[in-house]
Amino acid sequence: MENTLRDRSSDQMSFHVQDRRLILAHLGFAFIAFLIGVVAGLVQALQRTGFITLPSNIGYYQLLTAHGVSLALIFTTFFIIGYLYSGLAKTLGGKLLPSANMVAWIGFYMMVIGTLLGLMMIITNDATVLYTFYAPMQASPIFYIGLALVVVGSWLSGIAIFMNYHHWRKKHPGESSPLFAYMAVATMVLWLICTVGVAIEVLFQLIPWSLGWTDKINVELSRTFFWYFGHPLVYFWLLPAYIYWYVQIPKIIGGKIFSNSLPRLTFILFILYSIPVGFHHQLMEPGVSSFWKFLQVVLTMLVVIPSLMTAFALIATFELAGRSKGAKGLFGWFTKLPWKDVRFVSTFLGMLIFIPAGAGGVVNASFQLDQVVHNTLFITGHFHITIAAAVILTFFAIAYWLVPSLRNRQLTPFANNLGLIQCWIWTIGMLIMSTAMHIVGVLGEPRRTSYTTYNNHPAAEVWEPYRLFTGIGSIILFLSAVLFLINIVYLWFFAPKAESEVDFPIGEVGEEQPKPPAILERWSVWIGITIALVIIAYTIPVIHMAQHAPGSPPIRSW
């Protein structure tokens, strides 16, 4: 009986049972990391703003590491990979390749083991090195080995995605691939090229040094390898959100995808320009001549262009959708958007916040302005309104339909309304917290510091009111995170079963749109140009650093 039920329901399911398990495993693990990350985030924020004092056996920097690693590195990676698999299964024929599923599972388990090793070291206070794990602070080798496992596991996920795509293309010669699949492949191409940097840092510098095989580490070189990875990392977070904005939001708002070529070109530009720009995180560092910094600043400004293309394409999509529903006047389309649908509203709030977030990014990237904001809370504010607002609000929106869709349940009006409340609370909390961080950063408050009044120095006294707002914002955010998790538990286990196939919104391209140029699908060309740009932007400064930067012995700063 049980079996027949399962067979019958799996026919109606929107996903094949093997795919469902794989994707749910990724999402489930991501939500656990989210829970750990937001708890650590709240406690750390309350300490930092002076609201509470921590017990002597828990350190501020330890919590900050747990917060950054669980949310920025682990939650994102698992969620993104799960989401990409889901879209691939949907758009490449309804089912993932069984051989690719095998690879995907191996990748999943490697990432899980790596995460557990890393978290264990953070809990035992042997890896209090923050999410950027800068040398010469030295963590336990187990922490770095854990990181290496996560990276290599994610490569297998990339390979699984490429296998599905390759299989589809072989079966459909001459056709251009479905937009979702194309964008998923582009995201993973970016990821595989950029993670080479962190893999070199971890395998050839951090692990041998932490095992005591080498006494010193070339700090400047390690930071360079890190940021070669660290900047495209932020686009690895952003691009899945863009996939949703380009491919799925049009369907949700009852419109059409604006163009079949523009999103592809956007993603190609991200691959080209997001990688040779890591120096914009190192503008204030010695050991890199200003010519190379300037070159990478120019490339950084170029990587802003695909985001501006996205902004205009989205507004056009909204307007066309509104007009097709009879909207009149310059802004009539605005009223035709689905303001009660959490799948749209949460995303739209993210888009709105991304406008000042992007402007802040341009401030950071401007050589001189970065001197004012570097290493201040302005940067912390910047990355909270990018990753922790624009991206995460989109991920909330995705989770709200993807979880019930995978569990064959309904996104009920109750869950939708709870989701609306939750995403608005998140937005308000984030605006309070991040605005305060941006302002107090310009007033000079450093980032990555535990609570201190600097001996009641007058320069620090002006920061007090902003600390209050930061603390209040973080409490509001935590409340929203709890609501999100409650809603996810409801959608996962308790929401009523769906009677028919659950909606997985995939937009259609307008009929009048031409077929995308074939060159956009010639990956070797784009990967080749990317490698050339990387070589131009990095070779000379890296050789210079390898020859001249002094080494440092390990430091335990906590």
> Rule CB under 6 A: is residue 223 a binding residue for ligand HAS?
no
- 235 annotated active-site: yes
Chain centroid offset of residue 374 CA: 21
- 467 annotated active-site: no
- 334 annotated active-site: no
Q: Which is nearer to ligand HAS, 329 or 514 (CB)?
A: 329
> Rule CB under 6 A: is residue 280 a binding residue for ligand HAS?
yes
Q: Which is nearer to Cu ion, 141 or 360 (CB)?
A: 360
CA distance 246 to 351: 12
Cβ within 8 Å of residue 414, ≥6 positions away: 490
Interface pick for ligand HAS out of 192, 295, 304, 372 (rule CB under 6 A): 304
Interface pick for ligand HAS out of 49, 101, 310, 474 (rule CB under 6 A): 310
> Rule CB under 6 A: is residue 487 a binding residue for ligand HAS?
no
Q: Which is nearer to ligand HAS, 336 or 407 (CB)?
A: 336
Query: 317-352: buried (b, 16+ CB within 10 Å) or exposed (e) per residue?
Result: bbbbbbeeeebeeeeebeebbeeebbbbbbbbbbbe
Q: To the nearest 10°, the Cα dihedral for 344, 345, 350, 353?
A: 140
Q: Shortest distance, CB of residue 312 to ligand HAS, whole angstroms?
A: 8
Q: Which does 37 bind (CB under 5 to 8 A by kind): ligand HAS, Cu ion, none?
A: none
Q: Which does 379 bind (CB under 5 to 8 A by kind): ligand HAS, Cu ion, none?
A: ligand HAS
Interface pick for ligand HAS out of 138, 259, 346, 386 (rule CB under 6 A): 386
Bridge partner residues of 497 (DSSP): 409
Radius of gyration of the chain (CA): 23
Question: 3-state class of 134 per DSSP?
Answer: coil
Helix axes 98-123, 17-48, angle to 10 degrees: 20
Interface pick for ligand HAS out of 262, 314, 320, 430 (rule CB under 6 A): 314
Contact positions with ligand HAS (CB under 6 A) in 100-139: 132
Element (H, E) at 217: strand 217-218
CA distance 555 to 217: 11
CA distances, 125 to each of 128, 225, 293 (Å):
6, 25, 35
> Rule CB under 5 A: is residue 231 a binding residue for Cu ion?
yes
Interface pick for ligand HAS out of 71, 387, 418, 477 (rule CB under 6 A): 387
Chain centroid offset of residue 100 CA: 24
Beta strand residue intervals within 290-370, DSSP E: none
> Rule CB under 5 A: is residue 223 a binding residue for Cu ion?
no
Q: With contacts defined by CB under 6 A, how many residues of the chain interact with ligand HAS?
A: 32
Q: Which does 304 bind (CB under 5 to 8 A by kind): Cu ion, ligand HAS, none?
A: ligand HAS
**Residue 249: φ, ψ to 5°:** -60, -40
Quick check: 287 and 218 in contact, CB under 8 A?
no
> Rule CB under 6 A: is residue 355 a binding residue for ligand HAS?
yes
Q: Shortest distance, CB of residue 218 to ligand HAS, whole angstroms?
A: 20
Q: Which is nearer to Cu ion, 67 or 231 (CB)?
A: 231
How does DSSP classify residue 501? P
Q: Which is nearer to ligand HAS, 162 or 227 (CB)?
A: 227
Number of H helices, E strands in the chain: 21, 2
- 382 annotated active-site: yes
- 131 annotated active-site: no
> Rule CB under 6 A: is residue 237 a binding residue for ligand HAS?
yes
The residue ranges that bind ligand HAS (CB under 6 A) are: 132, 234, 237-238, 280-281, 300, 303-304, 307-308, 310-311, 314-315, 351-352, 354-355, 358, 361-362, 364-365, 370, 374, 379, 382-383, 386-387, 391
Catalytic residue annotation: 231, 235, 382-384, 447-448
The residue ranges that bind Cu ion (CB under 5 A) are: 231
